[in-house]
Structure 1
Amino acid sequence: MSVRAGIVVTGTEVLTGRVADRNGPWVADRLLELGVELAHITICGDRPADIEAQLRFLAAEGVDLIVTSGGLGPTADDMTVEMVARFCGRELTLDTELEAKIAAILKHLMARFTGVDFDAVLAANRKQAMVPVGAHVLDPVGTAPGVVVPGSPTVLVLPGPPRELQAMWPAAVADDAFQQAIAGRTVYRQDTVRMFGLAESGLAETLRDAESLPGFGDLEITTCLRRGEVEMVTRYEPQSEPAYARLMELVRSRHGDTLFSEDGSLVDDQVARILAGRRIATAESCTGGLLAARLTERAGSSAYVAGAVVAYANEAKADVLGVAPGLIEQCGAVSQEVAEAMAAGAVRRFGADTAVAITGIAGPDGGTEDKPVGTVWFCVMLGDGTTVSRSVRLPGERADIRERSTTVAMHMLRRALLGLS
């Protein structure tokens, strides 16, 4: 078994949901990169008994390393170092060299303020220079230092602000006590594949059948449905690579037409690469410009997004995109004909060679028996005359329909550009 670790995220503001935890997932990813098996992530408030209880729980689980985040400030509710010292059976002592470093940082920070009693500020921050006897100090990024307390388990104490924690991480990993704690780690491989147009239950059936493959039991597989795509993440030790290869042969044979990413890349990134050298325009009704936002986010310096129109009202479709009012009246705003006219209008208006149009009913009202809420029409139009139109019925609330509509549009665009439609 590889080295195992646990993470303790402290902070009443995190426990109560006022602040989202960004540190736990980030540290979890870094531990995975190091080949360390993550056993638990726990969150507790700024209460001494609760912090100590989390530390004792993880120690009882047999972890080799505990990483804490938060509770290193100068105020009374910042007590993580004190609780770690108690847990490790070590006294706290004033590190005068560290105190001087904190003082220099504070003097620089206070220089732009007037009327501040620097001695009072320094006195309040002196507790940040109290460290467990024998601990290794990690220099502050803000004003809070980190510490590594050697032992069984070794405890790494990091600050709560993500910017400070992430900047301190390289020094923590380089620490001798940290390296000793993870010395027995196993280097894992992790591969991510993504499929679109496949129900999660369909992949589940394939995985059940895959249980008979040699070595399948050595693969750690997780699946989830994300933005209408099925994602499969497989983690395994290097010697199990043949087992993963056999699994992927089965997946390709059954779901090859839906498998669009074997290297973990997102459809957004794939579309961005394919669009290089093109000019694309979007015309959206019901998605509020979300597709244009996704395209723009990946555009970077290539600047392939020529323009975007969000046209909810029929008058806007007519005035801005040149959709004939009679066409809307005859076919309805949510129709193949109007989606194609919107795409053509976007091409004309922005001088683009590629366009995507979306028109639909995201709800909660406005649906009919023929076109219920969730009905969406798409059109992808390319400069060579290729036009691909499609209608889908999407489940969920307004936000779900809007988000899934943009995913459908991205996949239609990808397939059209690759000549797969």
Structure 2
Amino acid sequence: MALPVASPVRAGIVVTGTEVLTGRVTDRNGPWLAEALRGLGVDVGRIVVVGDRPEDLASALRFQLADHDLVLTTGGLGPTADDLTTAVVAEVQGRALRLDPDLEARIAAIVAGLHAQRGWAPPGAAAAAGIRKQAMVPDDAAVLEPVGTAPGLVVPGPGAPVVVLPGPPSELRPMWTDAVAVPAVRAVLARAVELRQSEVRIWGPPEAELAAALRDHEDTHGPLADAGLEVTTCVRDGELEIVTRYAPDAAAAYAGLLDFLHTRFGAQVFSDDGRRLDDVVAELLLARAATIATAESCTAGLLAGRLADRPGSSAYLLGGFVTYANEAKTAEVGVPAELIERLGAVSREVAQGMAAGARARLGTTVGVGITGVAGPGGGTADKPVGLVHVAVDVEGRVHHRELRLGGTRELIRRRTVVAALHLVRQALQ
């Protein structure tokens, strides 16, 4: 559910590249720019993805320019024939392209340095043609100095300016700092107002309960949109996520909504300050000076990997065991073979044995055991695909959850990791 809130400044983003359009490359620039703009008080109206066809790019640009104060493009600035963004933007903005000799020399120096660094032959005629192409600049455009080999641009209207940025995130993100300093962009940003964004995360209730709660809030307090709140909800691996955007003058309305959510859902609200589950679990471990070890069967190390994704995880994560085979459960974490034979590997008792064994072998405060049937095969009538047992042992106190999950093998394994982290969180709390 999304409820619109007025914003005086809007931006549109055009992401280019057939590789992005077809899903071979995931777009990381559009969401990053949307959040960067939100931090500057600019609301992103649309993100459009187009391939490397010039007519599609021109159409997308005109579509975005029609009702936005600022338009950004990403990608299509390289030296090859399919890199056409600069030429198309110049055409749409009614600007002639001209060679900038000084820019050409600067790009040539960068390219020569890369060739020397990589042990390649000095740049030849083909490289020179590509450099010349990248040094073509629309009339009256501001040049953003290359981070790689491609310069960016800010191309004025007649209407909204277009900020032209490279595709690689490692080049785009540092270049953004220069882009917002260009006078044409600063003039747009000067009209922006603060646009706050707050996040609440809930674990436990179904999405329908959240929808009913928000309806009840509106029945009592009036429409959220009338209060200046734009509320978006989604389900992410079983977690309910409520993201609210609002201007400063709607802060009291948001405080009322937050208080309502806490009253309605109580301890099921595990984060109301933007922290994600990984941060909450890490901070609980650090606050107790606790350490953790894992023993995983169907998730095969995914939980340990997710714990390790967070910087500083060595302060609490001591290690993990991938005990996929029954023999590994016995040899690595000491689950009795007789127990596995009698109850089966996918059982509460084996998960508890894995958690206790991981904790004992590595001497940690917390041990986690996971065993289940991720599918698509291997299920039985008694133990179907999607049955998973998760156990958390905190200094001998054992917590257990039986999960009945649906979906693909990937989804079952991912949802299991989320459920395991929540069980760790609840056990530590």
Indicate whether the TM-score tops 0.5. Answer: yes
What do the CA deviations read for 1:282-310 (whole angstroms, capped 9, x no partner)? 11121111111112222626432222112
From 207, 210, 213, give the equivalent of 1:206.
213
| Residue 114 (structure 2) pairs with residue 109 (structure 1) | yes
The residue number in structure 1 matching 2:188 is 181
Task: State the shift of 1:397 in Å.
Answer: 2.1
The residue number in structure 2 matching 1:84 is 89
The residue number in structure 1 matching 2:71 is 66
> Bigger CA drift: 274-283 or 186-195?
274-283
Provide the rounded CA distance (Å) in 1 between the counterparts of 2:311 and 2:101: 51
The residue number in structure 2 matching 1:408 is 419
What do the CA deviations read for 1:29-75 (whole angstroms, capped 9, x no partner)? 11111111111111222222222111111122x21111011121222
Task: State the shift of 1:214 in Å.
Answer: 4.5
> Bigger CA drift: 43-52 or 126-135?
43-52
From 133, 141, 149, give the equivalent of 1:143.
149
Contact 1:323 1:342 in 2 (8 A): yes
Contact 2:307 2:313 in 1 (8 A): no
| Residue 424 (structure 2) pairs with residue 389 (structure 1) | no
Contact 1:106 1:122 in 2 (8 A): no
The residue number in structure 1 matching 2:309 is 297
Task: State the shift of 1:187 in Å.
Answer: 1.0
| Residue 327 (structure 2) pairs with residue 319 (structure 1) | no
From 160, 163, 166, give the equivalent of 2:170.
163
TM, length-normalised to structure 1:
0.94
Task: State the shift of 1:348 in Å.
Answer: 2.2
Provide the rounded CA distance (Å) in 1 between the counterparts of 2:152 and 2:352: 59
The total of aligned residue pairs comes to: 416
Provide the rounded CA distance (Å) in 1 between the counterparts of 2:115 and 2:327: 58
> Bigger CA drift: 354-363 or 103-112?
103-112
The residue number in structure 1 matching 2:259 is 249
The residue number in structure 1 matching 2:284 is 274
From 224, 239, 243, give the equivalent of 1:216.
224
Contact 2:111 2:123 in 1 (8 A): no
TM, length-normalised to structure 2:
0.92
SS of residue paired to 2:422: helix
Contact 1:6 1:65 in 2 (8 A): yes
From 86, 99, 102, give the equivalent of 1:97.
102
Provide the rounded CA distance (Å) in 1 between the counterparts of 2:265 and 2:187: 44
Provide the rounded CA distance (Å) in 1 between the counterparts of 2:105 and 2:393: 65
From 388, 391, 403, give the equivalent of 1:376.
388
Provide the rounded CA distance (Å) in 2 between the counterparts of 1:117 and 1:286: 52
The residue number in structure 2 matching 1:121 is 127
Contact 2:18 2:51 in 1 (8 A): yes
Provide the rounded CA distance (Å) in 2 between the counterparts of 1:117 and 1:331: 68
Provide the rounded CA distance (Å) in 1 between the counterparts of 2:350 and 2:414: 21
The residue number in structure 2 matching 1:28 is 34
Contact 1:299 1:305 in 2 (8 A): no
Structure 1 unaligned runs (5+)?
A: none
Contact 1:215 1:243 in 2 (8 A): no
Provide the rounded CA distance (Å) in 2 between the counterparts of 1:223 and 1:359: 31
Structure 1 residues 301 and 233: CA distance shift in structure 2, 3 A: closer
Contact 1:222 1:234 in 2 (8 A): yes
| Residue 45 (structure 2) pairs with residue 39 (structure 1) | yes
Structure 1 residues 272 and 84: CA distance shift in structure 2, 3 A: same
SS of residue paired to 1:256: helix
Contact 1:287 1:405 in 2 (8 A): yes
Runs of at least 4 residues of structure 1 off by over 6 A? none
| Residue 3 (structure 2) pairs with residue 3 (structure 1) | no
